[in-house]
Chains A and B, each alone.
Chain A
């Protein structure tokens, strides 16, 4: 969706290097999420944010850190990339409107660690 932009779309990096992925949203949603998707595992939550400077760990947070200095931007950093972090990374945002709950994904970043 045009409301969530991930960059870069593709990246190849070397083992041991730091990598930062960016998620930018224009929806003004309070909650933002980072997932990774791997064959046989489905989507797994890495970290999420419930507001500016408010973040928490998900299921697979080891080796990852996040930052949210503005409502619209949520950054995911791989401190020292490893081959096991080769994956497709999706950002998502969510909003609650009455009984309706919306959860939307960005287009994804395909990261290869060599």
Chain B
């Protein structure tokens, strides 16, 4: 079957580093998305990992291990504005395929 799991909530301190984990199970895996969603707003794209390894984009990095069905999002130098929900989603199927989303991890950044 298909499933995806991520922690419901996390709390971290401003200036610190936080890692949000995501595990998934599927066949026909194409890639793994991470989105950021502030309360009352639409999800916005952070990263899309197709190959194993770490991809860095400024303060945000995303890691993928296809053999383990595992990904994480790493946020460095946390800022108050990083308080949001972070959604992971795996992309499966053909060239277009579809996405299956996790329930999201609500991150609270405290001073």
Contact = CB atoms under 8 A, between A and B. Distances in A.
B48 interface: yes
Interface residues of B, number: 21
A96 interface: yes
A106 B42 CA distance: 7
A100 B80 CA distance: 31
A106 B43 CA distance: 9
Interface string B98-109: 110111100000
Interface in B41-61: 41-45, 48, 50
Given A40-B103, A45-B98, A105 B43 contact: yes
Interface in B82-101: 87, 89, 91, 95-96, 98-99, 101
A27 B50 CA distance: 24
A107 B96 CA distance: 22
Interface in A28-48: 30-31, 33, 40-45, 48
A42 B87 contact: yes
Interface in A61-114: 90, 94, 96, 99-108
A37 B97 CA distance: 20
B63 interface: no
Interface residues of A, number: 25
Given A31-B96, A101-B30, 19 more contacts: A33-B98, A40-B103, A41-B103, A42-B87, A42-B102, A42-B103, A43-B101, A44-B101, A50-B96, A58-B98, A96-B95, A99-B50, A101-B31, A101-B48, A103-B91, A105-B44, A106-B42, A108-B41, A108-B42
18 contacts: A33-B98, A40-B103, A42-B101, A42-B103, A42-B104, A43-B89, A45-B98, A48-B98, A58-B98, A94-B96, A96-B96, A99-B50, A101-B31, A103-B33, A103-B99, A105-B42, A107-B42, A108-B41
Interface of B: 30-31, 33, 41-45, 48, 50, 87, 89, 91, 95-96, 98-99, 101-104
Interface of A: 30-31, 33, 40-45, 48, 50, 58, 90, 94, 96, 99-108
